[in-house]
Chain A
Amino acid sequence: MKKKVAIVFRLYAQVLLLYILSEIGNFIVEISRLPLPGNLVGMLLLFLLLITKMIPLHWVSEGSSLLLKHLSLFFIPVAVGLMSYKDLFLHQGWIFFLCILLSLWIGMYATGKVSQTIALKQEDNVKENLKSGEQRYG
Protein backbone atom coordinates (compact mmCIF):
# COMPACT_ATOMS: atom_id res chain seq x y z
CA MET A 1 0.00 0.00 0.00
CA LYS A 2 2.76 2.40 0.99
CA LYS A 3 4.57 1.58 -2.23
CA LYS A 4 1.50 2.36 -4.31
CA VAL A 5 1.03 5.73 -2.64
CA ALA A 6 4.69 6.50 -3.31
CA ILE A 7 4.27 5.62 -7.01
CA VAL A 8 1.17 7.78 -7.38
CA PHE A 9 2.90 10.65 -5.62
CA ARG A 10 5.98 10.30 -7.83
CA LEU A 11 3.89 10.27 -11.01
CA TYR A 12 2.00 13.31 -9.77
CA ALA A 13 5.23 15.20 -9.09
CA GLN A 14 6.67 14.24 -12.50
CA VAL A 15 3.58 15.33 -14.43
CA LEU A 16 3.60 18.55 -12.41
CA LEU A 17 7.23 19.15 -13.43
CA LEU A 18 6.32 18.59 -17.10
CA TYR A 19 3.41 21.01 -16.67
CA ILE A 20 5.68 23.65 -15.12
CA LEU A 21 8.08 23.27 -18.06
CA SER A 22 5.24 23.79 -20.55
CA GLU A 23 4.19 26.91 -18.62
CA ILE A 24 7.79 28.17 -18.72
CA GLY A 25 7.67 27.54 -22.49
CA ASN A 26 4.48 29.61 -22.70
CA PHE A 27 6.13 32.37 -20.70
CA ILE A 28 9.24 32.39 -22.94
CA VAL A 29 7.03 32.62 -26.04
CA GLU A 30 5.05 35.45 -24.50
CA ILE A 31 8.03 37.63 -23.65
CA SER A 32 10.08 36.81 -26.77
CA ARG A 33 7.10 36.87 -29.18
CA LEU A 34 8.51 33.85 -31.02
CA PRO A 35 5.96 32.49 -33.51
CA LEU A 36 6.25 29.07 -31.83
CA PRO A 37 3.88 27.17 -29.54
CA GLY A 38 4.82 27.35 -25.86
CA ASN A 39 4.63 23.61 -25.23
CA LEU A 40 7.06 23.00 -28.10
CA VAL A 41 9.52 25.45 -26.51
CA GLY A 42 8.96 23.56 -23.25
CA MET A 43 9.84 20.30 -25.01
CA LEU A 44 13.07 21.76 -26.45
CA LEU A 45 13.87 23.17 -23.01
CA LEU A 46 13.48 19.76 -21.35
CA PHE A 47 15.60 18.15 -24.10
CA LEU A 48 18.36 20.70 -23.41
CA LEU A 49 18.09 20.18 -19.65
CA LEU A 50 18.39 16.40 -20.14
CA ILE A 51 21.38 16.67 -22.51
CA THR A 52 23.22 19.01 -20.16
CA LYS A 53 22.28 16.68 -17.24
CA MET A 54 20.73 19.58 -15.38
CA ILE A 55 17.66 17.39 -14.88
CA PRO A 56 18.26 13.64 -14.36
CA LEU A 57 16.23 11.38 -16.63
CA HIS A 58 14.52 9.57 -13.73
CA TRP A 59 12.88 12.82 -12.63
CA VAL A 60 10.63 12.81 -15.68
CA SER A 61 10.80 9.38 -17.36
CA GLU A 62 7.85 7.67 -15.66
CA GLY A 63 5.53 10.66 -15.88
CA SER A 64 6.39 11.14 -19.52
CA SER A 65 5.89 7.51 -20.47
CA LEU A 66 2.54 7.44 -18.65
CA LEU A 67 1.33 10.53 -20.55
CA LEU A 68 2.67 9.29 -23.90
CA LYS A 69 1.17 5.83 -23.39
CA HIS A 70 -2.28 7.40 -23.10
CA LEU A 71 -1.71 10.20 -25.60
CA SER A 72 -4.70 8.97 -27.64
CA LEU A 73 -7.06 9.54 -24.70
CA PHE A 74 -6.28 13.26 -24.60
CA PHE A 75 -7.25 13.62 -28.27
CA ILE A 76 -10.63 11.97 -27.95
CA PRO A 77 -12.61 14.93 -26.52
CA VAL A 78 -11.30 17.05 -29.40
CA ALA A 79 -12.47 14.47 -31.93
CA VAL A 80 -15.87 14.34 -30.24
CA GLY A 81 -16.07 18.05 -31.19
CA LEU A 82 -16.95 16.73 -34.65
CA MET A 83 -20.56 16.57 -33.45
CA SER A 84 -20.78 20.36 -33.23
CA TYR A 85 -19.51 20.74 -36.82
CA LYS A 86 -22.16 18.37 -38.14
CA ASP A 87 -23.40 20.66 -40.93
CA LEU A 88 -19.95 21.56 -42.20
CA PHE A 89 -18.97 17.88 -42.29
CA LEU A 90 -22.25 16.74 -43.85
CA HIS A 91 -21.68 19.19 -46.72
CA GLN A 92 -17.93 19.19 -47.19
CA GLY A 93 -16.88 16.15 -45.18
CA TRP A 94 -16.05 14.01 -48.24
CA ILE A 95 -13.75 16.75 -49.55
CA PHE A 96 -11.97 16.86 -46.19
CA PHE A 97 -11.54 13.10 -46.14
CA LEU A 98 -10.33 13.05 -49.73
CA CYS A 99 -7.85 15.85 -49.10
CA ILE A 100 -6.58 14.32 -45.86
CA LEU A 101 -6.10 10.87 -47.41
CA LEU A 102 -4.46 12.26 -50.55
CA SER A 103 -1.95 14.47 -48.74
CA LEU A 104 -1.40 11.80 -46.10
CA TRP A 105 -0.48 9.10 -48.61
CA ILE A 106 1.65 11.42 -50.73
CA GLY A 107 3.35 12.70 -47.57
CA MET A 108 3.97 9.18 -46.27
CA TYR A 109 5.42 8.16 -49.63
CA ALA A 110 7.71 11.22 -49.60
CA THR A 111 8.92 10.71 -46.03
CA GLY A 112 9.25 6.94 -46.42
CA LYS A 113 10.95 6.85 -49.82
CA VAL A 114 13.40 9.69 -49.15
CA SER A 115 14.51 8.32 -45.78
CA GLN A 116 14.59 4.70 -46.96
CA THR A 117 16.70 5.52 -50.03
CA ILE A 118 19.24 7.52 -48.04
CA ALA A 119 19.33 5.03 -45.15
CA LEU A 120 19.91 2.06 -47.49
CA LYS A 121 22.63 3.97 -49.32
CA GLN A 122 24.35 4.76 -46.00
CA GLU A 123 24.14 1.12 -44.95
CA ASP A 124 25.60 0.06 -48.33
CA ASN A 125 28.47 2.46 -47.80
CA VAL A 126 29.09 1.01 -44.36
CA LYS A 127 29.12 -2.52 -45.84
CA GLU A 128 31.43 -1.46 -48.67
CA ASN A 129 33.79 0.20 -46.22
CA LEU A 130 33.81 -2.98 -44.15
CA LYS A 131 34.45 -5.07 -47.25
CA SER A 132 37.31 -2.91 -48.48
CA GLY A 133 38.65 -2.89 -44.94
CA GLU A 134 38.57 -6.67 -44.90
CA GLN A 135 40.37 -6.84 -48.23
CA ARG A 136 42.97 -4.43 -47.04
CA TYR A 137 43.56 -5.72 -43.56
CA GLY A 138 41.94 -9.15 -43.50
Chain B
Amino acid sequence: MDKFVTLYTLAVTIGIYLWSVHLSKKYSSPLTNPVFLSTLLIIFILVLSHIPYAEYQGTKEVLTFFLGPATVGIAVPLYQQRKVLYQNLIPSFAGILVGSVVCMLTTILTLKGLHLSSEVVRSMSVKTITTPIAMEVAGIIHGDKVLAAIFVVLTGMLGAMTGPSIMNRMKIYHPLSRGLALGTQAHGIGTARAASEGELQVAIAGVAMGVNGIFVSILVPSIVVWMIN
Protein backbone atom coordinates (compact mmCIF):
# COMPACT_ATOMS: atom_id res chain seq x y z
CA MET B 1 0.00 0.00 0.00
CA ASP B 2 2.77 2.40 1.01
CA LYS B 3 4.68 1.52 -2.12
CA PHE B 4 1.58 2.17 -4.17
CA VAL B 5 1.16 5.63 -2.60
CA THR B 6 4.83 6.43 -3.26
CA LEU B 7 4.56 5.30 -6.85
CA TYR B 8 1.43 7.39 -7.31
CA THR B 9 2.88 10.55 -5.73
CA LEU B 10 6.17 10.11 -7.57
CA ALA B 11 4.35 9.87 -10.89
CA VAL B 12 2.20 12.90 -10.00
CA THR B 13 5.27 14.93 -8.95
CA ILE B 14 7.33 14.18 -12.03
CA GLY B 15 4.34 14.60 -14.36
CA ILE B 16 3.37 17.97 -12.91
CA TYR B 17 7.00 19.09 -12.92
CA LEU B 18 7.45 18.26 -16.62
CA TRP B 19 4.18 19.96 -17.50
CA SER B 20 5.06 23.11 -15.56
CA VAL B 21 8.48 23.26 -17.24
CA HIS B 22 6.71 23.05 -20.61
CA LEU B 23 4.28 25.76 -19.50
CA SER B 24 7.03 28.05 -18.21
CA LYS B 25 8.75 27.86 -21.61
CA LYS B 26 5.53 28.75 -23.39
CA TYR B 27 4.33 31.47 -21.02
CA SER B 28 7.24 33.02 -19.17
CA SER B 29 5.91 34.68 -16.03
CA PRO B 30 6.73 34.60 -12.29
CA LEU B 31 3.53 32.59 -11.79
CA THR B 32 4.63 29.80 -14.13
CA ASN B 33 7.93 29.29 -12.26
CA PRO B 34 8.17 25.46 -12.24
CA VAL B 35 8.92 25.11 -8.52
CA PHE B 36 6.16 27.50 -7.52
CA LEU B 37 3.52 26.09 -9.83
CA SER B 38 4.39 22.43 -9.17
CA THR B 39 4.44 22.88 -5.40
CA LEU B 40 1.04 24.56 -5.43
CA LEU B 41 -0.53 21.91 -7.68
CA ILE B 42 1.01 18.98 -5.79
CA ILE B 43 -0.20 20.25 -2.41
CA PHE B 44 -3.64 20.68 -3.98
CA ILE B 45 -3.64 17.11 -5.34
CA LEU B 46 -2.34 15.61 -2.06
CA VAL B 47 -5.06 17.39 -0.10
CA LEU B 48 -7.71 16.25 -2.60
CA SER B 49 -6.48 12.63 -2.47
CA HIS B 50 -6.32 12.72 1.36
CA ILE B 51 -2.59 11.95 1.41
CA PRO B 52 -0.83 13.54 4.41
CA TYR B 53 2.74 14.81 4.02
CA ALA B 54 4.00 11.83 6.07
CA GLU B 55 2.93 9.51 3.25
CA TYR B 56 4.73 11.70 0.72
CA GLN B 57 8.07 10.87 2.40
CA GLY B 58 8.85 8.06 -0.06
CA THR B 59 8.78 10.43 -3.02
CA LYS B 60 10.70 13.02 -1.05
CA GLU B 61 13.44 10.51 -0.26
CA VAL B 62 13.72 9.34 -3.86
CA LEU B 63 13.98 12.87 -5.27
CA THR B 64 16.10 14.54 -2.57
CA PHE B 65 18.56 11.65 -2.91
CA PHE B 66 19.66 13.28 -6.17
CA LEU B 67 20.51 16.58 -4.48
CA GLY B 68 23.79 15.09 -3.19
CA PRO B 69 25.18 14.02 -6.60
CA ALA B 70 23.66 17.17 -8.19
CA THR B 71 25.61 19.39 -5.77
CA VAL B 72 28.82 17.52 -6.62
CA GLY B 73 27.89 17.98 -10.29
CA ILE B 74 28.10 21.79 -9.91
CA ALA B 75 31.87 21.22 -10.16
CA VAL B 76 31.41 20.59 -13.91
CA PRO B 77 30.11 24.08 -14.93
CA LEU B 78 32.56 25.50 -12.40
CA TYR B 79 35.36 23.70 -14.25
CA GLN B 80 34.05 24.52 -17.74
CA GLN B 81 33.70 28.22 -16.94
CA ARG B 82 36.91 28.48 -14.91
CA LYS B 83 38.40 30.90 -17.46
CA VAL B 84 35.45 33.31 -17.15
CA LEU B 85 35.82 32.98 -13.41
CA TYR B 86 39.58 33.60 -13.44
CA GLN B 87 39.11 36.68 -15.66
CA ASN B 88 36.44 38.09 -13.37
CA LEU B 89 37.83 36.81 -10.13
CA ILE B 90 37.81 40.10 -8.21
CA PRO B 91 34.33 41.41 -9.16
CA SER B 92 32.86 37.92 -8.72
CA PHE B 93 34.31 37.18 -5.32
CA ALA B 94 33.69 40.72 -4.03
CA GLY B 95 30.07 40.60 -5.26
CA ILE B 96 29.36 37.17 -3.81
CA LEU B 97 31.02 37.91 -0.46
CA VAL B 98 29.41 41.32 0.06
CA GLY B 99 25.97 40.11 -1.08
CA SER B 100 26.21 37.01 1.05
CA VAL B 101 27.17 38.85 4.25
CA VAL B 102 24.70 41.71 3.70
CA CYS B 103 21.89 39.22 3.12
CA MET B 104 22.72 37.17 6.23
CA LEU B 105 22.92 40.28 8.43
CA THR B 106 19.64 41.71 7.03
CA THR B 107 17.88 38.40 7.62
CA ILE B 108 19.10 37.92 11.19
CA LEU B 109 18.55 41.58 12.18
CA THR B 110 15.02 41.72 10.72
CA LEU B 111 13.92 38.49 12.39
CA LYS B 112 15.54 39.43 15.70
CA GLY B 113 13.92 42.86 15.51
CA LEU B 114 10.55 41.17 15.12
CA HIS B 115 11.33 38.87 18.08
CA LEU B 116 11.07 35.56 16.26
CA SER B 117 12.27 32.39 17.96
CA SER B 118 15.97 31.59 17.81
CA GLU B 119 15.17 28.36 15.95
CA VAL B 120 13.43 30.26 13.13
CA VAL B 121 16.33 32.76 12.92
CA ARG B 122 18.90 29.96 12.78
CA SER B 123 16.92 28.07 10.15
CA MET B 124 16.47 31.16 7.99
CA SER B 125 20.09 32.34 8.22
CA VAL B 126 21.11 29.66 5.69
CA LYS B 127 18.32 30.46 3.22
CA THR B 128 20.52 31.59 0.33
CA ILE B 129 22.46 28.34 -0.04
CA THR B 130 21.34 25.36 -2.05
CA THR B 131 19.08 22.90 -0.18
CA PRO B 132 21.43 19.95 0.39
CA ILE B 133 24.14 22.23 1.81
CA ALA B 134 21.62 24.35 3.74
CA MET B 135 20.13 21.32 5.51
CA GLU B 136 23.58 20.19 6.63
CA VAL B 137 24.62 23.67 7.80
CA ALA B 138 21.28 24.14 9.60
CA GLY B 139 22.09 20.97 11.53
CA ILE B 140 25.54 22.30 12.41
CA ILE B 141 24.12 25.58 13.81
CA HIS B 142 21.22 23.83 15.59
CA GLY B 143 18.41 25.05 13.37
CA ASP B 144 15.45 23.04 12.09
CA LYS B 145 16.60 21.19 8.95
CA VAL B 146 13.19 20.85 7.33
CA LEU B 147 12.19 24.44 8.07
CA ALA B 148 15.56 25.61 6.72
CA ALA B 149 14.94 23.66 3.52
CA ILE B 150 11.51 25.27 3.13
CA PHE B 151 12.99 28.76 3.60
CA VAL B 152 15.67 27.92 1.06
CA VAL B 153 13.12 26.86 -1.53
CA LEU B 154 10.90 29.90 -0.83
CA THR B 155 13.94 32.17 -1.22
CA GLY B 156 14.90 30.55 -4.50
CA MET B 157 11.35 30.77 -5.76
CA LEU B 158 10.92 34.45 -4.85
CA GLY B 159 14.41 35.20 -6.19
CA ALA B 160 13.70 33.57 -9.52
CA MET B 161 10.26 35.19 -9.73
CA THR B 162 11.21 38.78 -8.77
CA GLY B 163 14.98 38.88 -9.39
CA PRO B 164 15.22 39.79 -13.09
CA SER B 165 12.64 42.63 -12.94
CA ILE B 166 14.03 43.97 -9.63
CA MET B 167 17.52 44.05 -11.15
CA ASN B 168 16.17 46.02 -14.12
CA ARG B 169 14.83 48.61 -11.67
CA MET B 170 18.15 48.66 -9.82
CA LYS B 171 19.96 49.24 -13.15
CA ILE B 172 21.98 46.05 -12.84
CA TYR B 173 22.47 45.17 -16.50
CA HIS B 174 25.92 43.58 -16.67
CA PRO B 175 25.39 39.89 -17.57
CA LEU B 176 28.10 38.89 -15.10
CA SER B 177 26.36 40.73 -12.26
CA ARG B 178 22.91 39.39 -13.12
CA GLY B 179 24.20 35.81 -13.06
CA LEU B 180 26.09 36.43 -9.84
CA ALA B 181 23.09 37.97 -8.08
CA LEU B 182 20.74 35.17 -9.15
CA GLY B 183 23.15 32.42 -8.12
CA THR B 184 24.20 34.05 -4.85
CA GLN B 185 20.73 35.00 -3.66
CA ALA B 186 18.53 32.33 -5.24
CA HIS B 187 20.85 29.29 -5.57
CA GLY B 188 19.68 26.47 -7.88
CA ILE B 189 16.25 27.91 -8.67
CA GLY B 190 17.87 31.27 -9.52
CA THR B 191 20.42 29.43 -11.64
CA ALA B 192 17.63 27.69 -13.52
CA ARG B 193 16.08 31.14 -14.10
CA ALA B 194 19.45 32.54 -15.24
CA ALA B 195 19.47 29.91 -17.99
CA SER B 196 16.76 31.88 -19.81
CA GLU B 197 18.96 35.01 -19.73
CA GLY B 198 22.03 33.53 -21.40
CA GLU B 199 25.00 31.15 -21.28
CA LEU B 200 27.32 33.44 -19.34
CA GLN B 201 24.58 34.19 -16.80
CA VAL B 202 23.80 30.56 -16.11
CA ALA B 203 27.46 29.54 -15.88
CA ILE B 204 28.34 32.36 -13.53
CA ALA B 205 25.16 31.72 -11.50
CA GLY B 206 26.27 28.12 -11.04
CA VAL B 207 29.67 29.33 -9.90
CA ALA B 208 28.07 31.89 -7.56
CA MET B 209 25.79 29.23 -6.07
CA GLY B 210 28.78 27.01 -5.30
CA VAL B 211 31.03 29.77 -3.98
CA ASN B 212 28.22 31.28 -1.91
CA GLY B 213 27.59 27.83 -0.43
CA ILE B 214 31.22 27.73 0.68
CA PHE B 215 31.16 31.30 2.08
CA VAL B 216 27.95 30.84 4.03
CA SER B 217 29.00 27.42 5.38
CA ILE B 218 32.20 28.96 6.72
CA LEU B 219 30.76 32.28 7.93
CA VAL B 220 27.33 31.46 9.30
CA PRO B 221 28.36 29.44 12.38
CA SER B 222 30.39 32.36 13.77
CA ILE B 223 27.84 35.01 12.71
CA VAL B 224 25.08 33.06 14.44
CA VAL B 225 27.12 32.66 17.64
CA TRP B 226 28.01 36.35 17.56
CA MET B 227 24.53 37.71 16.82
CA ILE B 228 22.14 35.30 18.48
CA ASN B 229 23.86 34.20 21.68
Q: Which residues in A have some Cβ–Cβ distance to B below 8 Å?
A: 15, 18-19, 21-23, 25, 35-40, 42-47, 50-51, 57, 60-61, 63-65, 67-68, 70-85, 88, 92, 95-120, 122
Q: With A46-B75, A57-B79, A81-B146 in contact, do A19 and B110 touch (Cβ < 8 Å)? A: no
Interface residues of B (CB under 8 A from A): 13-14, 17, 21, 34-35, 38-39, 42-43, 46-47, 52-54, 56, 59-60, 63-64, 66-80, 82, 88, 90-92, 94-96, 98-100, 102-104, 106-107, 110-111, 114, 116, 120, 124, 127-128, 131-133, 136-137, 140, 146-147, 149-159, 162-163, 166-167, 170, 172-174, 176-178, 180-182, 184-186, 188-189, 191-192, 206, 208, 210, 213-214, 217-218, 221
Known: A104-B155, A111-B98, A116-B172. A39 touches B71 (CB 8 A): yes
Query: In the complex the two chains form, what is the Cα distance from A111 to B92 in whole Å?
Result: 9
Query: Chain B residues with Cβ under 8 A from A96's Cβ?
Result: 124, 151, 154
Chain A residue nearest in CB terms to B73: A64
Residues of A with C-beta under 8 A to B35: 72, 75-76, 79
A82 touches which one: B43, B95, B180, B189 (CB < 8 A)?
B43
How many whole Å from B40's CB to the nearest CB in chain A?
A: 9
A77 pairs with B180, CB closer than 8 A? no
Chain A residues with Cβ below 8 Å from B185 are 104, 107-108, 111
Chain B at the A interface: mostly helix, strand, loop or mixed? helix
Chain A at the B interface: SS class: helix
A44–chain B nearest beta-carbon distance, Å: 7
For the A-B complex, the count of residue pairs with Cβ-Cβ distances under 8 Å equals 321
For B206, list chain A residues within 8 Å (CB). Answer: 68
Residues of A within 8 A of B91 (CB): 114-119, 122
A117 to B95, CA, bound (A): 10
Contact A100 B98 (CB under 8 A): no
A73 touches B14 (CB 8 A): yes
- Say yes or no: B106 contacts A103, CB within 8 Å: yes
